Structure 1
Amino acid sequence: MSSFDEILFHTEERMEKALGHLREEFASVRSGKASPELVANVPVEAYGSSMRLRELAAITVPDAHLLLIQPWDPTVVDAVRKALEEARLGINPMVDGKMIRLPIPPLSEERRHELIRVVRKLAEEGRVALRGVRRHGLEEAKALQKESDVSEDDLARAEKEVQKLTDRFIAEVDRLLQAKEAELLKV
């Protein structure tokens, strides 16, 4: 830690990672249309270890209400089917030879509102993570100020920049939440 610029750079990097994680979480929340991200990270027990589905199969979207999963090795079709059933997505996988079809049924109004509550909770967890990164960045800045001859004004400027970063990323969380809510409410 040699400068406030490095602290800001690392703080922004950590905030980007937190936002990326939130995007992945939002993508895995089922909406009324098919998306490969819905099942991409489902853990599958194959070859004596746990692997993500995206590492074992091609996941395609032939139309808005169907996912097609084609394992590269036909011997893991049953393991993939079992993993999809255990993932509790509310979708029944249908084995069709060497591939698996996942028909995405339309969501009920009640289920839509339930999922909106889930994404709001995820967004709040994302905001909390960003605030944690902010706190860490501010602590690093204060430690740097204590161990070197940096002025109070420079520390205040660094704190202001960290807060600007936090505000920018929280605004992005809010934008992502709004978009996901709109997607869930679209019939």
Structure 2
Amino acid sequence: MDEEVKFVLDSTKESMDASISHLEKAFIKIRAGKASPIMLSSVMVDYYGAQTPLSQVSNINTPDARTISVQPWEKNLIGEIENAIMNANLGFNPMNNGEMVIINVPPLTEERRKQLVKQAKAEAEDAKVSIRSARQEANKELKALEISEDLLKNAEVDVQELTDSYSKKVDSILSVKEAEIMKV
């Protein structure tokens, strides 16, 4: 196979891999009932005038499946951390005991589970759109190359097979996440 065609296919595969890894990162943030420190990954705390990720000013643990504890490295940050968690709009009600911030993660209602599944499906669809745009870009690059008609057709078939396999990966990742969310 022509070197240029191989390069186009490799870069397309890389782009599609990036779509899958982005989807997996997005799914980590969608909670599925159990408490996890990742749930607070988007929380930014005002640390001496600079917006700083919560994980850089405190220790975040999950003592059990329904509780997240946030142990700040400086006691005077407790109020800031509480406000930051409230302002992050995650649906949590933090409490502090003077030493640390404690968050009780409420069990998911059926309605909330359905909303989370919708959110997961939207993320999966975004990943598929990204994969299809990588296919479109690859086909455009292939047509720009000075190659024979047969080689072009074979390369386009290869790109389509890549697209199909990555779309199936997205579907399987989504079905696993969906089952995880809906499990009570």
Contact 1:39 1:53 in 2 (8 A): yes
CA distance in 2, matches of 1:154, 1:56: 56
How far did 1:53 drift? Answer: 2.6
| Shift in CA distance, 65/9, structure 1 to aligned 2, threshold 3 Å | same
Q: Which residue of 1 aligns with 2:85?
A: 84
CA distance in 2, matches of 1:51, 1:96: 23
Q: Which residue of 1 aligns with 2:150?
A: 153
How far did 1:33 drift? Answer: 0.7
Amino acid at match of 2:174: L
Q: Which residue of 2 aligns with 1:97?
A: 98
Amino acid at match of 1:109: E
Contact 2:42 2:88 in 1 (8 A): no
Across the two proteins, how many residue pairs are aligned to each other?
182
CA distance in 1, matches of 2:91, 2:156: 46
Q: Which residue of 2 aligns with 1:26?
A: 27
Amino acid at match of 2:178: E
| Shift in CA distance, 65/13, structure 1 to aligned 2, threshold 3 Å | same
RMSD over aligned Cα atoms: 1.9
How far did 1:68 drift? Answer: 1.9
How far did 1:166 drift? Answer: 1.5
CA distance in 2, matches of 1:76, 1:163: 53
Q: Does 1:62 align with 2:63?
A: yes
Q: Per-residue CA shift, 1:156-187, capped at 9, x if unaligned?
A: 22222222221122111111111111111111
Amino acid at match of 1:162: V
TM-score by length of 2: 0.88
Structure 2: gaps spanning 5 or more residues: none
Q: Which residue of 1 aligns with 2:51?
A: 50
CA distance in 1, matches of 2:45, 2:121: 28
How far did 1:101 drift? Answer: 1.7
For 2:33, what is the secondary structure of its paired residue?
Answer: coil
For 1:51, what is the secondary structure of its paired residue?
Answer: strand
| Shift in CA distance, 17/71, structure 1 to aligned 2, threshold 3 Å | farther
For 1:184, what is the secondary structure of its paired residue?
Answer: helix
Q: Which residue of 2 aligns with 1:182?
A: 179
